[in-house]
Amino acid sequence: MKTHEIPDFPKIKINNYISKLSNKIRIILEKDLFSSLINEPILENIALNLNFQKASLKKYIRYRKYPIFFLKELNKQIDKDVFNLIEQNNPLFFSKWKLINLPNFINPKLAYFVGYLQGDGCIESNKRRIDFTDEYLEQIEQINKICFDLFNTYGRIEGKHTTISKKEVYRLEVGSLVLNSYLHKIFGINRGVKINLKIPQIFTKHNEILKWYLKGLFDADGTLPKNPDKCKQFFIDVTFKDKEFIEQIKEKLGLFGIKTLKPYCRIAKSPTSDFISKTWELRIRKKEDMVKFLKEISFFHPNKKRRAKRLLDYIAPVV
């Protein structure tokens, strides 16, 4: 996997992210940050407000394994910013047994991961898992490696056949309440059915971050010719169900000088039922705009990356 090709910089700090996470998550710290800050009256107040025994709370402090609901109450009781202290001391997160690292900054790799998640991924409504699907095993393995690079955890990959296609499709499942909560709460991505998608505002603060985020979207739901020499009409498309999301993508492409056609509504009947689907397509059609896209943004998906190179070589050969 060539995930090392994704740059580590720039980095944009995510502020106050821990307090937004699920109360079922616990935090492990190497350093003892709180025992000197918590006296008996404070402990009694916390125990009373949470309806907990003091002995249980003392175990959290002794073993430095703190449930988030305890930390939220502690934050009310002392004159220190509990969550800021924690963020500065390399916390690890867990719900049952799996330890997860949660980045407190956005970098290109995280932006790409979130973009791909919004396209070919899903934050499960059971709050315990995220998953991805792709027809190319090489891409699913790449996403799994990026997941490990970011969060210190791998998922499980399985192949399956669908009723629509005879070709095998690959699914990556990452079981983690922590990761599910983080991606849902910090980036505002719906659990379950993907509706009302939005570009997270923090990704727009730096063009390099935005570029890798858009690359993730196009790797998931973008298309381009497989064989440019056999193609009558060149194009680069991206398709989503939400028109507003497509409009946002169009606007952000414009920041790179890339113009598109107007969003086009496609209506199709399911091959296996009477269900009618409606999606919105955004097409880059002019040669100069395709060249700009392929040079400025392009693809990271292994298969689409190879196709992008063939397309660029065909429409803008180096003399």
Backbone angles phi, psi at 237, to 5 degrees: -120, 160
Give me the domain span that covers residue 263: 217-315
Backbone angles phi, psi at 183, to 5 degrees: -70, -35
Whether residue 311 sits in one domain with residue 221: yes
Q: Residue 86 corresponds to which tokens in the numbers above?
A: 């924690």
Whether residue 171 sits in one domain with residue 243: no
Q: Residue 32 corresponds to which tokens in the numbers above?
A: 């003892």
Whether residue 184 sits in one domain with residue 111: yes
Q: Hey, what's the torsion of the CAs at 128, 171, 140, 266, to 10 degrees?
A: -100
For 34-92, the pLDDT digits (tens) are: 999 999 999 999 999 999 999 999 999 999 999 999 999 999 999 999 999 999 999 99
Whether residue 230 sits in one domain with residue 155: no
> Has residue 152 been placed in a domain?
yes
pLDDT of 213 strictly over 70: yes
For 219-262, the pLDDT digits (tens) are: 999 999 999 999 999 999 999 999 999 999 999 999 999 999 99
pLDDT of 124 strictly over 90: yes
CATH assignment at residue 181:
3.10.28.10
Whether residue 89 sits in one domain with residue 31: yes
Looking only at the bridges linking them, the beta strands covering 92-94 and 26-28 are antiparallel
Residue 1: predicted pLDDT: 63
Whether residue 141 sits in one domain with residue 81: no
> Has residue 84 been placed in a domain?
yes
Where does a domain end: 45, 64, 94? 94
Where does a domain end: 94, 114, 129? 94
- Burial class of residue 17 (count of CB atoms within 10 Å of its CB; 0-12, 13-18, 19+): middle
Looking only at the bridges linking them, the beta strands covering 105-106 and 129-134 are unpaired
Q: Hey, what's the torsion of the CAs at 210, 303, 244, 184, to 10 degrees?
A: -70
Count the domains in the chain. 3
Where does a domain end: 43, 72, 94? 94
Residue 2: predicted pLDDT: 82
Whether residue 150 sits in one domain with residue 72: no
Whether residue 226 sits in one domain with residue 186: no
DSSP 57: H
> Has residue 164 been placed in a domain?
yes
Please choose, from the candidates 203, 211, 213, 226, the residue with its C-alpha nearest in 3D space to the C-alpha of residue 305: 226
Whether residue 184 sits in one domain with residue 235: no
Of residues 280 and 2, more confidently modeled: 280
> Has residue 41 been placed in a domain?
yes
3-state per-residue secondary structure call for 171-190? EEEEECHHHHHHHHHHHCCC
Cα–Cα distance, 7 to 149 (Å, whole number): 12
Please choose, from the candidates 262, 266, 264, 252, the residue with its C-alpha nearest in 3D space to the C-alpha of residue 297: 252
For residues 118 and 217, the answer to whether their CB atoms sit within 8 Å is yes
pLDDT of 319 strictly over 60: no
Instruction: Indicate yes or no: pTM above 0.85.
Output: yes
Whether residue 110 sits in one domain with residue 52: no
For residues 12 and 171, the answer to whether their CB atoms sit within 8 Å is no
> Has residue 306 been placed in a domain?
yes
